[in-house]
Structures are given as C-alpha cells and as structure tokens.
Structure 1
Amino acid sequence: MANSTDSAAPTVSPTRVRLADAQPQIALGALDGRYRSAVAPLVDHLSEAALNRHRLHVEVEWFIHLCAEQVLSGLPTLSEEQVSGLRSIVTEFGTAQLEELGAIEAQTHHDVKAVEYFIARRLEGLGLSELTPLVHFACTSEDINNLSYALGIRDAVAEVWLPAARTALDGLAELAQDAAEVPMLSRTHGQPATPTTLGKEIAVFVHRLRRQLRRIEAQEFLGKINGATGTYAAHLAAAPEADWPSLAQRFVEKLGLTFNPLTTQIESHDYQAELYADMARFNRILHGLCVDVWSYISIGFFRQIPVAGATGSSTMPHKVNPIRFENAEANLEISNALLDALGSTLVESRWQRDLTDSSGQRNIGTAMGHSVLALTNMSKGLKQLDVAEEVIAADLDANWEVLGEAIQTVMRAEAIAGVESMENPYERLKELTRGRRVDAEKLKEFVTGLGLSKDAESRLAQLTPGTYTGLAAQLARQFG
C-alpha cells in the first residue's frame, strides 16, 4: 500500500533565483521591459532621474535669478564663469551624480532637500560657498516640484508625444488621400447604407484628430514660486522692499512657462487636467479608428502585408493577425485609465496641501508612455495595409438596394416640380427594398416605370452603388 501522504503531498516548485536580485535591470512593467525601445525617449523627461535634473535646473536658475535681481543686500554679481559653472551642475548630471544624489536622499529622507544639499556641495568650487544659504531660498518643495514637473511634461509633449502623434496622423492622412476615390459601402447600425469612399471615412478621423492636436499644441504649462502657502510670507520677511510677485513672474516666464499668480502651497494642476483630458480624447478617437480598421480587416476590405519571417498564429499558418491595431487599442485604454485618474485627482487638494498629487504625478510618464506605444503600433500597422479594392467593389455590387435613398429623393424633387405619379416615394421604395436584396435589373425596371422626367430618369439610370458617393472623394482630399 502506498504511503498515504504521497497523494496528498503538495507540488513543490523548484527553488528559483529571484529575478529582482539576479537581474535588477529586469523591469516589472511592460513599458520598461518589452516595450522599452518605443517609449525610451520619455525617460529623458518624465523619469525620476529626469525629475531630479529638472529640480536642479529650477534651483540653479532661481539662485542665478536672485543674484541678478539683487533682491538681498550683499549679493554679488555672478561672473560668466560662475553662471556657466552653476548651469553645468545640470548639464553634467549623469550616472555618478544620480548615485550621489541618491546617497544624500538616503540620509535626508527628502528628495528636494537632497537636491539642495547636492548643489551646496558644489558652490565652494565656484567660489560661492558664502552663498550656500541662497540655495532653495524662501522656497517650499512644491515651488521646485511644480516647476520641474511643468518643464518635464512640456518637453515630453513637445519632443516625444506630439512627434509620435503627428507621424501617426501623417500616415493616416496619406491613406485618406490614396483611398479618396475608392467607393465603399457604408454600414450604419451595421446595416448596408449610402455608399461613401474609404478615403472619406479615414479623413473623418484625420479631421477629428487634427482638431485635438491643435488643442494640445496650444496647451499652457503653468508654474508658481510663491512659498509655503502661496503668500510670499517668507520672501517679504527677508526682503520687504522687493516686488516678489513680479520677480516670481519673471522667473517662471524665463523658464518658458506661464505664471500662475494665485495658489495655495501647490500649483493647482488645472492645466495638467486640461492636457490629460485632451490627450485622452485624442486617444479615444484613435481607439475608434483602430476598431474600425480592425473590422475592415476582418471583412477583407484591407489586406495585411505579411512581414518576412513573422508568425501570425502559433497553430494556423494562413493567418496574419491585426496585432498592431489590437496592441494600440489595449494601450490606449490603459493610457486613458491613467490620464482620467490623474485629471480627476490632481485638481483636488485638502486645504492648502496634501501629497496625493506627489504620488499621482509619478505616473505621468506611464500614462503618456502607453499612448506613445499605441501611436507607434498604429503607425506600423498602417504601413502594413493594402486596400482590397476588388473585395470592396464586390460588396457594393451585392447591395443595389442602397440606391433606394437616391431614387426616393429624386421622386420627391420631381413631385415638387409638378411631375405626376410621384406620390408616396418613400413608401414605394420601402416596399421594394426593405429587408430584401434588389439587383441592378430589378431596380432599373422600377425606375423606368415611375414616369420620371427624362433628365431625372437618365441620371438614375447611370447611377450604381459605386458611383453613388456624393462629394466623398472631394471631402477626403480637402480634409484628409
């Protein structure tokens, strides 16, 4: 008899090396792992290291600004070499400096205070050790952080997200132009409807996305530097004669930001919520496009150009899966979940300050990264599409009943013009076409028996589902 414990013994996994211990560079998240190459440019603007570099930039420029403005008695005029040396603290910030800053923070347990001490260490070498108290002068951490985040977000949008969006939009516009005259059956409520052109339907998305892009391009990035509760209290205590609001405005604008004159301890983040709402709206429109393209692929309107060496399915060799558009859909959804959460969280703060924004803002890069990844995949997907004009044409030829709209509308016009026997045009076409297929011969027979004017009958006789596209091609060229 077998030992009774044998069957009950739990399955024991073999002892494994903890990957986090063996390979610290292996990422927990997809953006820093599998998709790192697509989103790497964002690291230079929205990573923790980038945030610290922006903090150094703000602190150094504030130091230089205070000296230039001579707000305190005894402040020297900085030499060009000293100004250059101070700014090199920022420009030379790399791996060794990151490690040093991390070591300081391990002692201070405060990230912004660590930046202050990091700068102070370098003043002696510039002959400025007596000005150590000027580093972080009259500032609260949020004075530095809000400006640092604004710089990072501004540059990430301008240098990474917008270029990716424009590249995707250029590819989409090219498709709209190329397919401007390709007639296609529309489907409203999923049912055959008045024909359009493929290019015109793509141009609708181009037009919508361009409008959102203009909003994002015009976005203001706000900043403040007004102290612990937004009152300039410490500033005035130290230098009551100075015009601190004007001095602060000049500083913020020198950084290339828009000055926010009235805040609590924190900059209110309303501009961020505006930006994320616009980006999320752009994402949602793009998501709709990806769903439509996926659907057109599924019914054969688009053929996917196989990539040499690529596998479509692990078991079905014939397949070329629309993975670029599926990947884009998923990443747009993740991006929007984060953008929506940030937009709703960041506009609220308990009384003068709480730290929910501090935790929230550390996810800005992730939110934007998933959008950039989606844009990259969509751009690649568009390059792998070929319009299957013969499939689209066959679909049109199988749906002559869609000309019923044209016929009944012409009948209405004829009735208004006084042509007899044009009563009940809609009802007569409904009886002919509702719930049934009508071929070209039957439709022609119906038209010739209506008693239309020769001009109207001639126009309808020449009409086919493929030519009943109105101004679709013109609209595609104009707006696509």
Structure 2
Amino acid sequence: MAEPFDWGLLEPAGAVGVPAGDDRVLAAMVAVEEALAGAWDELDGTAGRPGRRALTFDAGAIDRDRLAAGARKAGVPIIALVEQLREQAGEDAGRVHRGATSQDIVDSALVLVSRDCLSRARDALAAAAAELADRAIRSRATPLLARTLTQPAEPTTLGASVASWLDAVVSALEVVDRLDFPVQLGGAVGTGAAFARLADRDDAPQTLRAGLAARLGLTDPGRAWHTDRGPVLAIADASARVAAVGGRIGRDLGLAARDGVLLPATGGGSSAMPHKQNPVDAVLLTANGLRAPGLLTTVHAAALSSDARPAGEWHAEWQAWRGLLRIAVESADVLAHAVADLVVTDGVGHGVQADAVDLAAAWAVVDAAVARYQAHVASDREVNR
C-alpha cells in the first residue's frame, strides 16, 4: 500500500484535521453508497422483506492502491470504488450505485465530511468563547495600552480587548450555525432521469433524494445542485471565517507575547536559542489564517461552472474544499487551547495610569460582548432542547 502523502510533518496541528483526511472521505463515500442502496430498498418496497439483506460495506477492506490507480485512470475515484463495492456485494452487485453519478457520491461525501468537521470546529469555538467570556469579565478593569497601526494609542482595559475577541468568535459561531448541509442526488446530468426509468416511477428522483438525505442526516434541498456551487461556497466561506477569526486573535496573541503582556503557559522552544518560549498557538493560528484565502479563492473560481458538469472546475474544488475544512478544525482547536493557556503578566498595564482609563466605556464593551455571548448560548440551548 502506498504511504500516506500527508501525515503531519509540516502540519503541526495536523492530527486535529484528521476528520478531513482521505480515510474519512473514503468512509463518507462508502456511507453514501450504502445509504443510496437503502433508499432504493425503501422505494422498491423490499426493505425488511425476508431474505432481503440490507447492503453494508467495509470501508477498511477497500484496496487503497487500486482505488488511487482507478482515480488516476478515470479522473474520479468513484468508478474504482463502485467496482470494489460491487465485489463486496456479490450477487447483489446490481443494487450498488443504481442510477447515480460520480458527482452525487463525491459531493454528498464531502458535505458529510463538512458537517462532521464543522461540528467539531463549533465545539472548540464554543469552548474558546466560554473561556474568553470568563477572561473578559475577570480582566474588565485591568489597564492596557491599546495600539493602532502598531503604535501606542489610548488606554483601555484587557477585558475590552478580550471582549473584541469574544465578539469575533461568537460571530463565527453564528455563521457556522446558519449552515445547511444538503445531499446531492441528480444522476448523470442532474435530472434524475435514470432513477425514474429504473424505478418506473416519475417521483423516484425526489423520493430517493429524500430517503438518502434522511439516512445520512443531511438536508434535502429539493433539487440537484451539480453546477450551482452555492452550498459549497457557504461551507467554504464559513470554514475560512473560522480560520480568519483564529488568525486575527493569533496575531494579537503573538504581538502581546512579544510585548511581554500575555504569554502562553506552555509553548515551544527554539533549536538555536534554548531560552525562548515561542507562542506556538499564536503562530499556528496566524499561519492558518494566511493559508485560508488562497484555498477560498480556488473554491470561488471553481464555482464558475459550466454544462451539466464542468471539465476541471469541479475537480479543482475537492482539495481546496477539504483543505479549508482541515484548517477550520485545526484553528478552532488551537484557539480553544490558546485562550485557556494564557498567562497575564505584571507588565500588562505598564506605563498606564489607572485614572487615565475610561472604565465605564471599557466595561460597556465587556458587558455587551458577554451579553451577546450569553444570548447565543441560551438560543443554542433552546434549539437543542
């Protein structure tokens, strides 16, 4: 078996991004094929009949080398995947991939991976927000000299600065919470004609799509979106937003560490200067924030689709889409660790006279940010009740 291309050597937070890795994408593709077979059984009325087994597949048994070779030959991995799934199905091989096209499986699988990745990112963002709300309250009266354009500006408080981070994280949470994760099922050219023909039912495309969505826990968009990449753009934009928020806070944390104001309790050293304790979390957050825009540009460029399936745009989208998911998960996880790992030093208010700080204004910023955070938490609890 070929060695994995990317196992984290140059991706310091790579282990966190595993939910977007090849094995997870493959497992999602297999899950889509399995769910499609189940949706067909429901449509045919054969589900649960004596002697009618539900099709299940073993993603771990897929020959990865054979799959990669097939992907190179066909330009998509699904043809080679279906061959192996039909081998697993044996005499039921004809029930695999009925009427579907490669884009149905790839898109639906990447949406599944997106849902799981951004759910994990959301949990980490929520943890970061809780920590930031607590820190904003505890440091609401701690003097701090604010900077604008890198230069000393006016006195404020550490709490007000932390509150601005909290606001950004809550905004990212709101964006993620608004996301929709739609299934894709349209057949060869998006019309679902093969489904209707195979089932001899005009409503087969709609019924199968609804059944597939229900089995996968995705939404039914009521249509195929093969060349309307709006759902992908929304997911990519939200992922980039998470990276941007992490990068912005990472920049602030890096500068605060440089100034000796906020330091990480734990962190990396230097191969040449053993006395150093580099703010590693801040560096990783900043790096991911810088990486995301290029990937997002690719996804947006690929949205200029054509025909019933474009030659190249769809293919260009895959890795950029997955890369944004990986960065979002990494950034959210690193951010949660970074804000919990902060140490406020004695130099935080150096050179600032306490009576020079407009505490009322700073406290108002803290109170507003915390109130907004608490309202978001209450709304989330109500939704999930």
- The alignment's TM-score, normalised by the length of structure 2, stands at 0.81
- Residue 117 of structure 2 corresponds to which residue in structure 1? 156
- Residue 132 of structure 1 corresponds to which residue in structure 2? 93
Matched letter for residue 102 of structure 1: L
Would the aligned equivalents of 1:223 and 1:267 in 2 still touch at CA under 8 Å? no
Distance in 2, Cα, partners of 1:465 & 1:107: 66
Establish whether residue 469 from structure 1 lines up as the match of residue 354 from structure 2.
no
How far residue 187 of structure 1 moved from its aligned partner, in angstroms, is: 3.3
- Residue 121 of structure 1 corresponds to which residue in structure 2? 87
- Residue 104 of structure 2 corresponds to which residue in structure 1? 143
Distance in 1, Cα, partners of 2:31 & 2:239: 27
* Structure 1 residues 287-320: Cα deviation after superposition (integer angstroms, max 9, x where no partner): 222222222232332245466xx635723x5443
Would the aligned equivalents of 2:182 and 2:213 in 1 still touch at CA under 8 Å? no
2:206 to 232, 242, 246: 246
Matched letter for residue 308 of structure 2: Q
**Structure 1: gaps spanning 5 or more residues:** 1-22, 398-462
* Structure 1 residues 415-472: Cα deviation after superposition (integer angstroms, max 9, x where no partner): xxxxxxxxxxxxxxxxxxxxxxxxxxxxxxxxxxxxxxxxxxxxxxxx9214x32242
- Residue 234 of structure 1 corresponds to which residue in structure 2? 194
Matched letter for residue 470 of structure 1: A
- The alignment's TM-score, normalised by the length of structure 1, stands at 0.67
Distance in 2, Cα, partners of 1:276 & 1:103: 25
Matched letter for residue 322 of structure 1: P
How far residue 210 of structure 1 moved from its aligned partner, in angstroms, is: 0.7
Would the aligned equivalents of 1:146 and 1:267 in 2 still touch at CA under 8 Å? no
Would the aligned equivalents of 1:222 and 1:257 in 2 still touch at CA under 8 Å? yes
Larger Rg: 1
How far residue 220 of structure 1 moved from its aligned partner, in angstroms, is: 0.3
Q: Secondary structure at the match of 2:155?
A: strand
**Structure 2: gaps spanning 5 or more residues:** 371-385
Establish whether residue 370 from structure 1 lines up as the match of residue 327 from structure 2.
yes
Establish whether residue 388 from structure 1 lines up as the match of residue 363 from structure 2.
no
Would the aligned equivalents of 1:184 and 1:197 in 2 still touch at CA under 8 Å? yes
Mean Cα deviation higher: 57-66 or 368-377: 368-377
Q: Secondary structure at the match of 2:147?
A: strand
Would the aligned equivalents of 2:114 and 2:325 in 1 still touch at CA under 8 Å? no
Structure 1 residues 383 and 234, CA gap change in structure 2 (3 angstroms): closer
Distance in 1, Cα, partners of 2:293 & 2:367: 31
Alignment of 1:169-318 (within 5 A): 169-190=129-150, 192-254=152-214, 255-263=216-224, 266=226, 268-305=228-265, 311-312=269-270, 314-315=272-273, 318=275
Q: Secondary structure at the match of 1:122?
A: helix
Percent identical pairs in the alignment equals 20
- Residue 10 of structure 1 corresponds to which residue in structure 2? none
Q: Secondary structure at the match of 1:286?
A: helix
Would the aligned equivalents of 1:313 and 1:319 in 2 still touch at CA under 8 Å? no
Alignment of 1:385-464 (within 5 A): 385-389=342-346, 391-397=347-353, 464=355
Distance in 1, Cα, partners of 2:167 & 2:148: 20
Structure 1 residues 46 and 267, CA gap change in structure 2 (3 angstroms): farther
Q: Secondary structure at the match of 1:258?
A: coil
Q: Which has the higher contact order (CA 8 A, sep 6+)?
A: 2
Q: Secondary structure at the match of 1:223?
A: coil
Establish whether residue 112 from structure 1 lines up as the match of residue 112 from structure 2.
no
Query: What is the Cα-based RMSD across aligned positions, in Å?
Result: 3.2
Structure 1 residues 220 and 267, CA gap change in structure 2 (3 angstroms): farther
Establish whether residue 50 from structure 1 lines up as the match of residue 11 from structure 2.
no
How far residue 135 of structure 1 moved from its aligned partner, in angstroms, is: 2.0
- Residue 36 of structure 2 corresponds to which residue in structure 1? 62
Q: Secondary structure at the match of 2:201?
A: coil
* Structure 1 residues 86-144: Cα deviation after superposition (integer angstroms, max 9, x where no partner): 23x1xx421x43448639948975622223222322334xxxx2x43332212221122
Would the aligned equivalents of 2:243 and 2:289 in 1 still touch at CA under 8 Å? yes
- The number of residue pairs the alignment matches comes to 367
Establish whether residue 39 from structure 1 lines up as the match of residue 14 from structure 2.
yes
Distance in 1, Cα, partners of 2:276 & 2:15: 31
* Structure 1 residues 342-399: Cα deviation after superposition (integer angstroms, max 9, x where no partner): 2x1342212221242224213433333234334444444434432234x3444113xx
Distance in 2, Cα, partners of 1:274 & 1:145: 17
How far residue 239 of structure 1 moved from its aligned partner, in angstroms, is: 3.9
Q: Secondary structure at the match of 1:221?
A: coil
Structure 1 residues 322 and 66, CA gap change in structure 2 (3 angstroms): closer
Q: Secondary structure at the match of 1:184?
A: strand
Would the aligned equivalents of 1:287 and 1:332 in 2 still touch at CA under 8 Å? yes
Matched letter for residue 177 of structure 2: E
Would the aligned equivalents of 2:118 and 2:329 in 1 still touch at CA under 8 Å? no
How far residue 333 of structure 1 moved from its aligned partner, in angstroms, is: 0.9
Q: Secondary structure at the match of 1:464?
A: helix
Q: Secondary structure at the match of 2:62?
A: helix
Would the aligned equivalents of 1:324 and 1:378 in 2 still touch at CA under 8 Å? yes
- Residue 62 of structure 2 corresponds to which residue in structure 1? 97
Q: Secondary structure at the match of 1:248?
A: helix
How far residue 331 of structure 1 moved from its aligned partner, in angstroms, is: 2.2
Distance in 2, Cα, partners of 1:64 & 1:244: 14
How far residue 267 of structure 1 moved from its aligned partner, in angstroms, is: 5.4
Distance in 2, Cα, partners of 1:238 & 1:303: 64
